[in-house]
Structure 1
């Protein structure tokens, strides 16, 4: 049997699709608080830019108040066909994106198929760019070969979700963190698709199949280019009255300096600066590490979190009764995996 090719390094997070009824709030949050470039396409759609790409965030009117799709940029048609082959071989339903869907996302050759937690996975081969100048409050964001950032997901089935991303994109384990929250332990694993320390983070409560987060995605990360812009964005978020979830702090594993604000849809947006880059030299000898605690300093809870904690408790209890969508066709766990 011919071994399948390893496509690590040939895919990166390209865009996110969010469904919300709060487009006015999203416009103000994106443009005035975080300082992104905002294009108002129609009454029912906004796009955020970070760079010369037409789209990094697509906000469409709908009831989910959540991320509903992740878009992965694929280097070449050969790798694209390899991924489609893996999905087809697993027996998953796969559909070609319509011309309208591709245009809204600013991409070409768009295909869509099921992802964990009912978030659609989308792949594309070419992103459309624009020469229109960026109208944003920040100097720049770090994207390029590293993609737009990362997504963090809480799950009751971490092994299955880890296997899904391994089977699909050959992501590699960067490291793990154990975060103690009172008597509970949160286990977090970080998966990279290239030089960015991680494109996907998976978190679970140790020993309990409980998910305390309402949204499918707990947070989304974007990387800002300067410390001055990070601090300015932090102050704009608080000055404009948007909720801040976690204050500025520094992570133990990737050393990123960041803060977490609450988006109008309820999941968090992490704005970070200066994380570790897994260069080819580091990649050659990289071994996953384990860290106790997610932060070296900072990242303290901001504001009155009682209502949020009660809401999460209710969601956690509900999650005990519900079975999480894991896409079993791509999530079977081989013996000895994920050590």
Structure 2
């Protein structure tokens, strides 16, 4: 990551952190393979009967799908550029008595990294950090012409939280995230505020949504969606057509967001959380970074992003999930939610 994005001498790791990979546990590996390869257009490597990996670039792994019953994202992997930033993150976590565990060599190999360290994250999603990814010279075999990763990382993760300020505090404490902007949205009469956090030049690597005045969560999965970014508009639209033709559920039609101006659509993965495939969002490079001020936008989209095929049964299922969630405390890591150690 360019040093221009990293403050000098203030102990910040901003600009040195990038979303590297996503780990999913699922028993629907056949569906995941068809979804990733035939619909989205990713490169696939089937390591064994229990493991599917997807590539988007020269990294050995960007999505790891391991057999298991969760049907959910269970870990996020974050690349840290240098040992100084890595040590700073580890010190912040351990100073607050949150255990840090080194991953096994097998876990590291599956994720396409040399070594990794793991600690607890919001909503039970393990946060894993590493410094050296494994790359491969093997040519990509995929329908897409390419994906935007590099300095901006893999994409972003969106979380619906009943404790949004605590979750925001976590990523500020651990990664020095910065607030890009807010979106206020009305959904079925409920007011939702979404906080968009950046850790590098990508407009946001983390989005945190919360319902104002109501601590409910209508989503079964720990993440609402994962985002990846197409290199071209043609690639994004072609994958939209394939998803539709192959019968995978489309959640939100093509539209454009108000804040980062990304064109995108949302479809439902075999595990139930959504995948956003986007194109051409704003990049907050060094010039914009120096003058950026958070703004509150009214509504998620300038145009499009209309719901597709949602039924009364879907609404009822969300209502039942919300009722269940109200009686169960959300998993947080309060030790890491309250400011920085300098």
Q: Please give the TM-score of this superposition, normalised by the length of structure 1.
A: 0.96
Task: Give the Å deviation of 1:78.
Answer: 1.1
1:228 aligns with 2:234: yes
Are residues 112 and 160 of structure 1, via their aligned partners in 2, closer, same or farther at CA, if it must alter by over 3 Å? same
Query: Where does residue 107 of structure 2 map in the other structure?
Result: 101
Mapped to 2, the partners of 1:258 and 1:109 lie a distance apart of 34
| Aligned counterpart, 1:36 | 42
The partner residue of 2:325 within 316, 319, 329 is 319
Counterpart check, 1:288 vs 2:273 = no
Please state how far the C-alpha of 1:212 moved relative to its aligned partner.
Answer: 1.1
Cross-structure match for 1:213: 219
Alignment of 1:267 onto 2:273: yes
**Structure 1 residue runs of 4 or more that deviate by more than 2 Å after TM superposition:** 304-308
The TM-score normalised by the length of structure 2 is 0.96
5 Å-filtered alignment, 1:162-177, equals 162-177=168-183
What is the 5 A alignment of 1:8-157? 8-157=14-163
Note if contact 2:173-2:339 (Cα within 8 Å) is conserved in structure 1: no
Aligned equivalent of 2:11:
5
Q: Is 2:173–2:338's contact at 8 Å kept on the other side of the alignment?
A: no
Aligned position for 2:197: 191
- What residue in structure 1 maps to residue 314 of structure 2? 308
Q: How far is the alpha carbon of 1:4 from its aligned partner?
A: 6.3
The answer to whether the 8 A contact 1:176-1:189 is kept is: yes
C-alpha distance after superposition, 1:276-317 (max 9, x if no partner): 000100000000000000000000001143332221111111
Q: Is the 8 A contact 1:160 1:333 kept in 2?
A: no
RMSD between aligned alpha carbons?
1.1
Structure 2 distance, partners of 1:269, 1:192, is 19
What is the distance in 1 between the residues matched to 2:313 and 2:64?
A: 29
Q: Is the 8 A contact 2:170 2:336 kept in 1?
A: yes
Q: How many residues align?
A: 332
Output the CA distance in 2 between the equivalents of 1:309 and 1:42: 38
Q: 1:159 to 1:304 in 2, by over 3 A?
A: closer
Three-state SS of the structure 2 residue aligned to 1:127 is coil
Q: Is the 8 A contact 2:59 2:133 kept in 1?
A: yes
Cα distance in 2 for partners of 1:188, 1:138 equals 30
2:74 match: secondary structure? strand
2:6 corresponds to: none
Pair 300,201 (structure 1): closer, same or farther in 2 beyond 3 Å: same
> Which secondary structure state, in structure 2, belongs to the residue aligned with residue 126 of structure 1?
coil
Structure 1 residues not aligned, in runs of 5+: 335-339
Q: Is the 8 A contact 2:12 2:176 kept in 1?
A: yes
8 A contact 1:188–1:201 mirrored in 2: yes
Q: CA separation in 2, counterparts of 1:294 and 1:53?
A: 32
> What is the CA distance between 1:273 and its match in structure 2?
0.2
Q: Distance in 2 between matches of 1:144 and 1:237?
A: 26
> What is the CA deviation profile of residues 139-166 of structure 1, one whole-angstrom value per residue up to 9, with x for unaligned ones?
1000001000000000000010000000
